[in-house]
Amino acid sequence: MANSKKSNIKMDTTKLIFTISYIVVTLVALVFVCVLCAKPFKIDSYDDLKQVDYKTYKTQDAEEYYVFIYDDSRKGNDWCKDVVLQYANKARTLSNYAPIYGYDLEKAGLGKLETELSLSNVPALLHFKSGAVNKTYTKWSDIMNTLSDIMNK
C-alpha cells in the first residue's frame, strides 16, 4: 500500500511539473507575440511614416519634430530616401530622437503649404520646435547632412 501511494505522489509531481512548464512556455510565447504587436514593423518607404496633412502638420504633440515633405512623382525624393528611413526607424524606437512625420503632396496637397512656407523645392524637411517652423531644408544634401549628423552624435 505504501508503494502505491509513493508512485501516485511521484506521478502527480510529474504531471504538476509538466503542467507548470507548459503554462510558463505558453506565457513566454504570449509575451513575445504582444511585444511584436506593440512595436510597428520597420519603416520601408515614405508612406510608412506617420502621415500628416495641411491641418495637422503644425499641431503634433512633440515639443520638437520633423516633417518630411515629398511627392512620389518627383525624382529628388530618392536621393535622401535611405537617410530619412534610417532616421525614422531610429526615431520610432529611441526616445532621444525627435519624431519625423511624412507629408505626401500627392495626397495632402501642395497649394496652401507651398504658399505658406515659400517652398521652392521638394523634397523638403521642416524642423519644428515649440509649435513653429524652426528651420526649413529644401536641398537634398542639407536634408541628408542634417539627419546624418543627428544619427552620428
Q: Distance (Å, rounded) from C-alpha 37 to C-alpha 45?
A: 20
Residue 28 has pLDDT above 90, yes or no: yes
What are the domain boundaries of the chain? 1-39, 46-152
Find the mean pLDDT for residues 111-135.
Answer: 82
Residue 17 has pLDDT above 60, yes or no: yes
Q: Distance (Å, rounded) from C-alpha 81 to C-alpha 69?
A: 12
Query: What's the pLDDT at 109?
Result: 65
Which CATH number is correct for 46-152, 3.60.20.10, 3.40.50.2000, 3.40.30.10, 2.60.120.920?
3.40.30.10
Global pTM value? 0.71
Please, are residues 36 and 43 in contact by the beta-carbon 8 Å criterion?
no
Closest among 77, 57, 78, 75 to 127, alpha carbons compared: 57
Cα 97 to chain centroid distance, Å, stands at 11
Please, are residues 54 and 113 in contact by the beta-carbon 8 Å criterion?
yes
